[in-house]
């Protein structure tokens, strides 16, 4: 039986349909908004054969090219490995749904979202969050509360819910993806053009009202058609055993936590854990897993209670930032580099400048193939946390962190018209103890400034945390790894001294309030301003010149009817210039020409050749031409690559010339003056006008000498 329900959000109707598609999945929802349609399924697997200490949730989001009436580009016409957009979409759906499952739940859950049709009227990933939530809600999984999501734009000073994708890209100052329950917020992902903290909070409040509306519709619908839920066995801790272990290890834990160095502290805690497990393995072999759980609980409770009292692991105050160290120009032959260290988190960022043709080609549902001119890649090697494991290409986390730091810098990049370079920044995490993505944001800014990229303003980032027990909570500035792991929130905020350019928030509890976010944003603003001052102390402004090792990129505009002239027959002319100068030249259909040369001298050579090639003759101007053909009545002289004029026999000299072949030969170089350009384009030349001018000049000089 097919069941449907709809809700109006931001003036657009979202319809959820159940019972027509994918009926063997645990829960399946076909969602429609305008011409955008997604299918979301949520299916639960069997109990794991081996006990695990994590919830195995997998979310896969796929943008099918047929959804926009396209065939994939490239040699293979089948969709292959997930694109970055699909990976980011998978993360966007995963993050708000994960905390809604019971903390002790261990059965695998697989959520799949297919984008089946797309018209740009709404973000497919946002529609996917709503559909995936409802699919989980109507399934037999222990998912009890609806999660809903919207996008918020800021267009012409007004907040717009779920704006068209084109309007979001071209007109909006804000691109905010936000998810939550009917009562609180769970996930935030934002890119913005220096939006104030207050404006961002207003956007969140507007979003929360719409999220509540969608959530109530989901829950009412699930009550009507949902399956009975599986029971989750609650883990009951043996309180007597817990007290016994706590009395034995708490003082040891306190002593271990006095180590301010991360690896030393972790090693000390691991030794305590191994010791207690070994001891109790002999006493109660059947309770080894419970002992392990009890240790983690004691450690967690102690650190959280101490933090709530204002005592952080490393002794800092709640709003205190770890020591910062900054170096720029650390690598000799790169175009720009920076080493940013904050506590035991260290990132090396490297900026590379390239030509127009080196941008990344992106094929998406919304647009035809576009060229991305700014790229940021984030790498997190195992040695950064003292581990030894294989490196097998970028993970979802690395792609997500790279995209966040990239989004933070985009609003301050110079326009392509002013700085026609392709820009690539790579951030190598060398040490990690929390907040590496925000260290990458700071490192990216510094590397770009070192490379001479004229960014409008520097951007800095900070990670905020939260410890919340009941009504008591504390917001933490610049969280380190343990505070992220044991805390309730990871809230990354990046921006300039004028406002926010990027946000990302994930939580482990079932929602937080706007009031908590207001405190977090204000603390983040103060921290951001402090870090920006530290950065300015090292490099106050972008370097006035780009690196001598960077290529030179120049943009020029030619008439569209001259494009064929520059390209030449079969591309012969342009290939000749490129091949002889080791350069790159890209020509747009509107006549815009992008030249990338290895250095300034070669760039000048290319410009000279192009200008000569495209130059047009001017009346009264003298040219050095070459005789290309002789006639009885005169000579045809090539004065420019594509222009030949007539040098009439009467214009060769003041004397009478009977046979032109005695005066001129094919291949002779002659200086001629353009005396007339006819309406039909024919050019009249004169050699004697040049000679007369030369004689006149000599006569004047001689007269001056005699007077002196």
Q: Which residues are annotated as a binding site for Mg(2+)?
A: 484, 490
Yes or no: say if 210 and 152 are a contact pair by the CB < 8 Å rule. no
User: What is the rounded distance in angstroms from the CA atom of residue 359 to the CA atom of residue 594?
Assistant: 13
* Rg, C-alpha atoms of the chain: 35
3 state SS for 163-201:
CCHHHHHHCCCEEEEEEECCCCEEEEEEEEEEECHHHHH
590, two tokens: 């509107």
Cα 52 from chain centroid (whole Å): 34
Which helix (H) or strand (E) covers residue 401, if one does?
helix 396-409
Nearest to 566 by CA among 540, 594, 546: 594
User: What is the rounded distance in angstroms from the CA atom of residue 28 to the CA atom of residue 59?
Assistant: 14
Return the DSSP state at 433.
S
User: What is the rounded distance in angstroms from the CA atom of residue 133 to the CA atom of residue 182?
Assistant: 13
Look at strands 422-431 and 374-379 and give their pairing: parallel
Q: Which residues of 123-154 are buried (b: 16+ CB within 10 A; e: fewer)?
A: bbbbbbbbbbbbbbbbbbbbbebbbbbbbbbb
User: What is the rounded distance in angstroms from the CA atom of residue 153 to the CA atom of residue 567?
Assistant: 44
Residue 185 buriedness (CB in 10 A; 0-12 / 13-18 / 19+): buried
Return the DSSP state at 660.
G
Sign (positive or negative) of CA dihedral 115, 121, 125, 131:
negative
Yes or no: say if 179 and 185 are a contact pair by the CB < 8 Å rule. yes
Nearest to 259 by CA among 324, 314, 296: 314
| Residue corresponding to tokens 């969050």 | 129
User: What is the rounded distance in angstroms from the CA atom of residue 491 to the CA atom of residue 190?
Assistant: 11
Q: Binding site: residue ranges?
A: 484, 490
User: What is the rounded distance in angstroms from the CA atom of residue 67 to the CA atom of residue 34?
Assistant: 13
Total Cβ atoms within 10 A of residue 563 = 17
Sign (positive or negative) of CA dihedral 626, 629, 631, 636:
negative
Residue 91 buriedness (CB in 10 A; 0-12 / 13-18 / 19+): buried
Query: DSSP string of 521-566?
Result: HHHHHHHHHHHHHHHHHH-SS--SS--TTSPEEEEEE--GGGHHHH
User: What is the rounded distance in angstroms from the CA atom of residue 601 to the CA atom of residue 376?
Assistant: 30
Query: DSSP string of 469-511?
Result: ETTEEEEEES--HHHHHHSSEEEEEEE-SS-EEEEEEEESSS-
Query: DSSP string of 584-596?
Result: EEEE-TTSEEEEE
Nearest to 60 by CA among 118, 130, 115, 23: 115
Is residue 162 classed as helix, strand or coil in its secondary structure? Answer: coil
User: What is the rounded distance in angstroms from the CA atom of residue 442 to the CA atom of residue 490?
Assistant: 18
User: What is the rounded distance in angstroms from the CA atom of residue 31 to the CA atom of residue 162?
Assistant: 15
């Amino acid at each position: 039986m097919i069941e449907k329900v709809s809700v109006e959000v931001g003036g657009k109707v979202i319809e959820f349909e159940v019972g027509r598609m994918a009926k063997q999945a645990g829960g399946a929802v076909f969602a429609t908004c305008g011409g955008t349609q997604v299918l979301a399924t949520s299916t639960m697997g069997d109990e794991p054969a081996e006990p695990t200490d994590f919830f195995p949730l997998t979310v896969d989001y796929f943008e099918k090219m047929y959804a926009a009436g396209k065939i994939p580009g490239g040699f293979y016409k089948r969709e292959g490995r997930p694109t970055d957009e699909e990976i980011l979409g998978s993360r966007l759906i995963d993050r708000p749904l994960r905390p809604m499952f019971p903390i002790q739940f261990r059965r695998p859950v697989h959520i799949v979202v297919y984008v089946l049709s797309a018209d740009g009227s709404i973000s497919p990933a946002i529609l996917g969050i709503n559909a995936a939530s409802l699919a989980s809600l109507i399934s037999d999984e222990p998912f009890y509360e609806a999660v809903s999501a919207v996008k918020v734009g800021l267009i012409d000073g007004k907040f717009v819910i779920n704006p068209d994708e084109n309007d979001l890209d071209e007109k909006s100052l804000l691109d905010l993806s936000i998810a939550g329950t009917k009562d609180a917020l769970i996930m935030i992902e934002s890119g913005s053009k220096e939006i104030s903290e207050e404006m961002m909070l207003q956007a969140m409040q507007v979003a929360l009202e719409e999220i509540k509306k969608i959530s109530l519709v989901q829950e009412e619908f699930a009550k009507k058609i949902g399956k009975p839920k599986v029971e989750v066995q609650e883990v009951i801790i043996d309180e007597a055993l817990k007290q016994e272990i706590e009395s034995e290890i708490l003082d040891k834990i306190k002593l271990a936590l006095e180590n301010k160095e991360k690896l030393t502290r972790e090693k000390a805690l691991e030794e305590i854990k191994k010791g207690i497990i070994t001891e109790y393995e002999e006493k109660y072999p059947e309770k080894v897993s419970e002992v392990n759980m009890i240790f983690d609980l004691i450690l967690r409770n102690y650190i959280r209670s101490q933090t709530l009292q204002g005592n952080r692991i490393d002794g800092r105050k709640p709003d205190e930032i770890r020591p910062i160290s900054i170096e720029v120009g650390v690598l000799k032959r790169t175009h720009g580099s920076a080493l940013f260290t904050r506590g035991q988190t260290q990132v090396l960022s490297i900026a590379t400048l390239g030509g127009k043709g080196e941008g990344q080609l992106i094929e998406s549902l919304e647009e035809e193939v576009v060229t991305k001119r700014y790229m940021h890649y984030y790498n997190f090697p195992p040695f950064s946390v003292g581990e030894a494991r294989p490196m097998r290409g970028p993970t979802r986390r690395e792609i997500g962190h790279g995209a966040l730091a990239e989004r933070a810098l985009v609003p301050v990049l110079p326009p392509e018209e002013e700085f026609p370079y392709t820009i690539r920044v790579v951030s190598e995490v060398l040490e990690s103890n929390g907040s590496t993505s925000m260290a990458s944001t700071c490192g990216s800014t510094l590397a770009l400034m070192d490379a001479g990229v004229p960014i409008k303003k520097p951007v800095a980032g900070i990670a905020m945390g939260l410890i919340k027990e009941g009504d008591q909570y504390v917001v933490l500035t610049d969280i380190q790894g343990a505070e992220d792991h044991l805390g309730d929130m990871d809230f990354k905020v990046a921006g300039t001294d004028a406002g926010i350019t990027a946000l990302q928030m994930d939580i482990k509890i079932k929602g937080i309030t706007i009031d908590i976010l207001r405190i977090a944003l204000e603390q983040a603003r103060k921290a951001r301003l402090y870090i920006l001052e530290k950065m300015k102390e090292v490099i106050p402004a972008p370097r006035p010149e780009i690196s001598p090792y960077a290529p030179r990129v120049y943009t020029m505009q030619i008439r569209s009817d001259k494009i064929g002239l520059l390209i030449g027959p079969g591309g012969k002319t342009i290939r000749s210039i490129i091949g002889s100068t080791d350069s790159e030249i890209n020509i747009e259909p509107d006549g815009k020409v992008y030249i990338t040369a290895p250095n300034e001298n070669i760039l000048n050579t290319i410009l000279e050749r192009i200008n000569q090639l495209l130059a047009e003759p001017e009346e009264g101007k003298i040219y050095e031409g070459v005789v290309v053909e002789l006639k009885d009545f005169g000579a045809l002289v090539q004065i420019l690559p594509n222009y030949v004029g007539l040098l009439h026999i009467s214009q060769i000299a003041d004397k009478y010339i009977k046979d032109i072949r005695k005066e001129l030969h094919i291949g002779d170089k002659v200086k001629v003056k353009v005396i007339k350009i006819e309406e039909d384009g024919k050019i009249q030349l004169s050699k004697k006008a040049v000679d007369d001018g030369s004689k006149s000049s000599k006569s004047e000089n001689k007269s001056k000498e005699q007077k002196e």
